[in-house]
Homo-oligomer: A and B are copies of this chain.
Amino acid sequence: MSVTSSPNDRTLTTRGKDRRDALMAFATTQFAEKGFHPTAVSEIVDGVGVGKGVFYWYFSSKDELLLNILRDALRDLRRNQNRAIRGADDPIQCLELGIRSTLTWSIEHPEVIRLVMFAWTEEQFAKDMRRGRRIVISDTARHISRAMDAGLIEQGDARVMATAVRGVSDELARQFAISGDLLDDSVIETAVRFCLRGVVGDSTRTPT
């Protein structure tokens, strides 16, 4: 066909996919370490050891690259959550497993947490972030709503509660990603208890 295909809809060979992954992986660490704007495209290609043209063969722009990184991350996070919840039935348990898997994932991907923080601050990325948050809040709110319907917790605004829950996990993730504070199991336990208490409004369910 024509030679004017865009980087988005190219058919990549195995070698091509590897290159693309390498560029994304290296860019992720650089963006997280130095920031998005202070990281030049030339640094990324130098780091991977390729010419500049390679970058624009796989990505139509530096912005596009960041958007791709963020979208992949969201997909991965949700896949993890769904895997963690699979099998559970009780909505409160689903909520707890979701919180745990979010925290675990966040601890394993501190660079992404930093990128997400940046992405919220510029409109061209914030659009995507809003979409992503809506999805993630809905996931959490669904469990809370189910718990309300089942009479397990008193009625209330499920979305606001879901936002609060996400706030706790995100804040702890940020503290870990950015302040370098330790985020061990006991902290996760405290956070999970805090959230469940906040939602359930009763400490009897939570184990010591």
Contacts and interface: CB of A to CB of B under 8 A. Distances in A.
Interface stretch (A22-30, A54-62, A83-91, A165-173): A165-173
Chief secondary structure at chain A's binding surface: helix
Contacts of A160: 172, 187, 190-191
B178 A120 contact: yes
Given A186-B157, A199-B194, A174 B120 contact: yes
Q: How many copies does the complex hold?
A: 2
Q: How large is the interface on A (under 10, 10 to 19, 20 to 34, 35 or more residues)?
A: 35 or more
A120 B122 CA distance: 14
Interface of A: 34-38, 114-115, 117-118, 120-123, 126, 129-130, 133, 156-157, 160-161, 163-164, 166-172, 174-175, 178-179, 186-187, 190-191, 193-195, 197-199, 201-203, 206
